[in-house]
Chain A
Amino acid sequence: MNAPLRRVAIAVFVLFALLFVNLNYVQVVKGDDYRTSDLNERVRISSYERPRGLIMVEDQAIAQSVETDGRYKYQRKYPQGELYSHVTGYQSMIYSNSELEAAANEDLSGESDKLFVRRITDMITGKKSKGANVILTLDKEVQAATADALEGEKGAAIALDPKSGEILSLVSNPAYDPNPFASHTDQPQKDAWKQLNGDSVNKPLLNRALRQTYPPGSTFKVVIASALVDEGYTAETEVDAPLRYTAPQTTKHIENYNGSACGDGSVTLEYALQQSCNTVFSQLGVEKLGAEKIKEKAGEFGFGEKMKVPTDVAASETGEIPDPPAEAQSSIGQRDVRMTPLEGAMIAAAVANDGKLMTPYLVKKVESADYTTLSTTRDKTLSTPLTESGAEEVQKMMRAVVENGTGTRAQVDGAEIGGKTGTAEDGNERQDHAWFIGYAIVDGEPVAAVAVVLENAGTSSSNSAAIAGTIMKSIIEQRANR
């Protein structure tokens, strides 16, 4: 029986050889993939062993690492709780990091190349490397005012500095407390996750300001108006304003809000925007612009762009616009047109900033733990959707909206405010979304651009105008104090 025994020995060697080969594959060939996999909690755990950088708004830490004597050395705390939840996001072992905690992770965790030299010296001197601090563009007073103004509403508001693109406030409601996610034990994280995700109506974890797109409704008329200005229109140009407009290739007609008339059938473009006449913009969208020009102008304002601020921003879209009926509907911000609140603020910002659209950003600079600046974000022009004179025309029209039209509640004493309301249909079942986008110019200087959307709030776009007014007022006050 020795011959078969020897063969069994060979078979055993073959089995073990298979194990060796496979182990080489798993641990070496695929090793790096597994080591750095998003599913691998070890990556995250190692970041609990050294202090993570601060996220700062002015002189205030809104996310910080505190030493604990628990399972891991450091725990993340969010002293401001809900106020900045959609800005910082959370650091979680189970659900991975979100928002800035994810987008600025390299800096915060200290793994960024910017910190390479420091890491080496830390290694030599035996110090524990610390993550870099991330200083935001937000203004804490404006953020608080924005949150107050939006209190109790479901929606989002975002404010920009039109001249630089700095994001001054960002609020998405309802918010949530990120602290339970930073827990070192599973249960608080799971409880919070279950509760927040279980709320399918309010979706507190959804960042409505950056990642939810809504039909823009009439606010999109600002884009159409800008495209018309390019075609030689001015605020004073007389345009056709029928009671109803029927686009070619369809029998469905477009009416004004409530079927009301727009002036006496022939009005200025300024008046059409001021009264938000659907028939005017649909007709001009189809007959003067066409799909290509609409898409092009929207693109210049930032539609179709997948931005990072550095948090991911959902792309705003115009959709395909295949035929004249689509052109008619898209021109009043319906059909497949969708935009984020950030995009709304960008439109207002470009108009206010003499037609120059600045790239929005949230991180002002990154500092090492000993406050040496490692990097500063520079202002960047994203595009120029309007000429200076063209911007002036659109400003005139938007000013009329706030002075005499649908957006009067956005008025702020001592500032020149322009804006546009929007009531966007959200399917047939639910209530419409109430939009307002607007800007403030003080002494000829653009100081604020704001977008507010109240989800399924019905036709209360004057509420969103009032909220935007409050936010802009706060920005103007902060500016005066400085």
Chain B
Amino acid sequence: MGRPDRPLANNQRNTELFLLILSLVVVTGMSVAVQGSVLGEINLGALALPALLALLFFGAHVAVRFLAPYADPLLLPAVATINGLSVVFIRRLDLGRLTPDERLAAGVLGGEGSEALKQYIWATVAILGFVGLLWLVRDHRSLARFGYIALFTGLVLVMLPAVLPSSLSEINGAKLWIIIPGIGQIQPGEFAKIALLLYFARSLVDNREFLQIVGKYQTLKATPGFLFRAYAPIIGAWLVSLGVLVFEKDLGSSLLYFGLFLVMMYIATNSARWLVIGLLLFMAGAYSAFLVVSRVQLRVNIWLHPFDDPFDAGYQIVQSLLALGSGGLFGAGPGAGSPNLLSLYASTDFVIAAIGEEIGLFGLTALLMLYTLIAARGIRAGLDVRDSYGKLLAGGLAFSISLQVFVIVGGVTKLIPLTGLTTPFLSYGGSSLIANWLIIGLLIRISDAGRRPAKVKAPPLQLRDAPTEVVKL
């Protein structure tokens, strides 16, 4: 029997630590296997990279212990596993570009054009951002204040690449970057996703009761003002995502923003009518885009018939399928495939195909299970937390990760037309890594609030020894 005036629940931080160690064992195993296969010898260097990663992840764990002690213990280890595999696998891709002699000289993270080194630095920045967020935001509800600021920031971030000249915003035909000459580039869309999510959550909480009754009363009292208030949000979101598609030629982000909005609207109102209206709008938009935007037509054609033009238009998806097929059930083994055949984008858009060749269906299944777990625990945080804003935010955040994984993995496996999105925590790239770690930071913050035991008041003393049961719940 504990003391009734103190929270009783085990906060499961040690579970998190144990799982984190387990995830590092997986990452270390991958690192050792890659080294053995790529270098032909295994030395202590194979442990160096996991050790460096361990520093980061244990740092994050300590921060959670102090800043969000009741947080869900599964989220951090799941993300750490994926992020750790990402750095190790991107290192493997680096080595694949080198000759055997250069490989031996390349060390743990070095070598010419090492993406792994950059990815490790980005992971460090991302985890610092994660810790900073937990430190700054002690109560997720305080974020509700930033509704309009979030909207403004989100729209600016979304529109910036469209407004900037192509030389500062276009890479490989998609205008979704901000290129700072000589320094690098950021993908503002990744951050816009979070800002828009914060705005959706706030604004839907404010309007949810009105939006819930729209269906019942609109035919009776349909004044123009009423209709505008009812339909402006969904039409607005639709137009923004169409704008992203047309002006930034970015199918993936367009789909992501609108899908996110719809799901949050559904969570807020529990009314399927918004889903139906949204899907109709989506289909109308997609069909017009197909007719008008040649890039969309091309993408659909490639999706349906990639093998018609295997050396040019269909090249990437064909190579992706060949890599996945060559991996088969068990994979070629870490380091034993040929992922460098997968065009220049093996470390970004096609990372799933690249790693899929080496870890096979079993490995990819495990990897996708981790994403499922992250999404499930994110939604769980929403179920646990007591305020509407938190529920909506958690639902949106968790769904954003799932939808992004679905769109890109579905794309590279030819389930749906290919659109360029990063695979959260796995793809090479700073913007994506930082933004997704911030999302995990928010989910951990919300799950902490949801699982934190309510302050239990001690029952009145005089009842303690009362002979009859007077309180029945």
B-binding residues in A (CB < 8 A): 1-9, 11-13, 15-16, 18-20, 22-24, 26-28, 30-35, 37, 39-42, 45, 69-71
Contacts and interface: CB of A to CB of B under 8 A. Distances in A.
Contact of B368 (A16, A26, A37, A71): A16
A42 B341 contact: yes
B410 to A, nearest CB: 6
B259 to A, nearest CB: 10
A28 B329 contact: yes
B341 A69 contact: no
A471 to B, nearest CB: 40
The 10 residue pairs across chains A and B that have the minimum distance between CB atoms: A34-B325, A22-B415, A27-B361, A15-B406, A12-B402, A4-B270, A40-B322, A31-B325, A31-B328, A9-B379
Contacts of B322: 34-35, 37, 39-40, 42
Contact of B268 (A1, A3, A16, A31): A1
A413 B138 CA distance: 106
A275 B432 CA distance: 83
Contacts of A15: 402-403, 406
Nearest to B361: A27
B391 A1 contact: yes
Contacts of B310: 39
Contact of A8 (B269, B324, B360, B379): B379
A31 B322 CA distance: 8
Given A8-B263, A19-B368, A2 B328 contact: no
Contact of A27 (B100, B324, B391): B324
Contacts of A7: 266
Judged by DSSP, the binding face of A is helix
Contact of B413 (A3, A23, A71): A23
Given A1-B392, A16-B372, A8 B267 contact: yes
A5 B390 CA distance: 12
Contacts of A40: 322, 325-326
Contacts of B318: 39
B324 A26 contact: yes
22 contacts: A1-B391, A4-B395, A5-B267, A5-B395, A8-B379, A11-B263, A16-B368, A16-B405, A18-B406, A18-B410, A19-B410, A22-B414, A23-B356, A23-B361, A24-B361, A27-B364, A28-B329, A31-B329, A33-B325, A34-B322, A40-B326, A45-B338
B406 A26 contact: no
B202 to A, nearest CB: 15
A402 B25 CA distance: 84
A12 B368 CA distance: 12
Contacts, number: 140
A19 B415 contact: yes
A248 B263 CA distance: 82
Contacts of A35: 322, 325-326, 328
B263 A26 contact: no
B391 A2 contact: yes
B342 to A, nearest CB: 10
Contacts of B395: 1, 4-5, 8
Interface in B377-428: 379, 382-383, 388, 391-392, 395, 398-399, 402-403, 405-406, 409-410, 413-415
A79 to B, nearest CB: 25
A8 B401 CA distance: 13
Contacts of B376: 9, 12-13
Interface string B238-270: 000000000000000000000000010011111
Contacts of A30: 321, 325
B371 interface: yes
Contacts of A71: 99-100
Judged by DSSP, the binding face of B is helix
A482 B257 CA distance: 82
B356 A27 contact: yes
Interface in B341-362: 341, 356, 360-361
Contacts of B361: 23-24, 27-28
B288 interface: no
Nearest to B362: A27
Contacts of A19: 368, 405-406, 409-410, 413, 415
B237 interface: no
Contacts of B263: 8, 11
Contacts of A28: 328-329, 361
Contacts of A22: 410, 413-415
Given A2-B383, A6-B383, A69 B100 contact: yes
A45 B332 CA distance: 14
Interface in B279-329: 307, 310, 318, 321-322, 324-329
Nearest to B401: A12
Nearest to A22: B415
B365 interface: yes
A258 to B, nearest CB: 51
Contact of B383 (A5, A11, A37, A70): A5
Contacts of A27: 324-325, 327-329, 356, 360-361, 364
Contacts of B392: 1
A34 B321 CA distance: 7
A6 to B, nearest CB: 7
B375 interface: yes
User: Which of B326, B329, B414 has the largest count of A CB atoms less than 10 A from its CB?
Assistant: B326
B368 A32 contact: no
B396 to A, nearest CB: 9
B237 to A, nearest CB: 17
Contacts of A31: 324-329
Given A1-B391, A28-B361, 8 more contacts: A3-B270, A15-B406, A23-B365, A23-B413, A26-B324, A26-B325, A28-B328, A45-B338
A28 B341 CA distance: 21
Contacts of B328: 27-28, 31, 35
Nearest to B331: A27
A13 B391 contact: no
B258 to A, nearest CB: 15
B338 A42 contact: yes
Contacts of B341: 41-42, 45
A4 B391 CA distance: 10
